[in-house]
Amino acid sequence: MTNIAILTGRIAREPDTRETKGGTNVTGITVVTDRPARDKDGKTYKDENGYTAKESEFHRVTCFNGLAKTVGQYCSKGQLVSVQGRIHYTQWEDKDGVTRYGTEILADKVDFLSRGNGSSDDNDNKDDPEID
């Protein structure tokens, strides 16, 4: 049996990093992917600019420990990433006693496919032509 998820998309908002009471680092990101939009007959169609219309999906991705620190430090909104992990389902009761459900990707690996802003002091080389 296998539970593998692979996403390639852009980070929709800045990463959310926290530390649990037990000392585990956790970073959450939202990755947006696009696919061709289809009409009621199942056919793709063009938008008002002549491009194939797209539909976007937003995926919650959770990273732990060292991966959480790296993603929290070096990823930023708009960055292109590839995520490999597994699909995880949760169920809980909210404060009103209503049963809620959630789905997320628990990341095993995140590859940076474009540059992020990064918060490292190494990015202070503004005169270096290799650094944008």
CATH number for the domain that contains residue 17: 2.40.50.140
In a domain, 42, yes or no: no
When pLDDT is cut at 50, 70 and 90, the band that residue 115 belongs to is: confident
In a domain, 45, yes or no: no
> Distances from the Cα of 85 to the Cαs of 56, 88, 115, 116, 117, in angstroms?
20, 9, 21, 21, 24
**What pLDDT, in 10s, does the model give residues 49-86?**
999 999 999 999 999 999 999 999 999 999 999 999 99
In a domain, 82, yes or no: yes
In a domain, 125, yes or no: no
Q: Which residue has the higher pLDDT, 128 or 8?
A: 8
Share of the chain above pLDDT 90, in %: 86
Structural domain total, the chain:
1
Q: Please, what's the b/e burial string for 14-31 (b: 16 or more CB within 10 A of its CB; e: otherwise)? A: ebebeeeeeeebbbbbbb
Residue 102, domain extent: 5-37+53-115
In a domain, 127, yes or no: no
In a domain, 29, yes or no: yes
Residues 6+ apart with CB under 8 A from 131: 123, 125
In this model, does residue 23 exceed pLDDT 60? yes
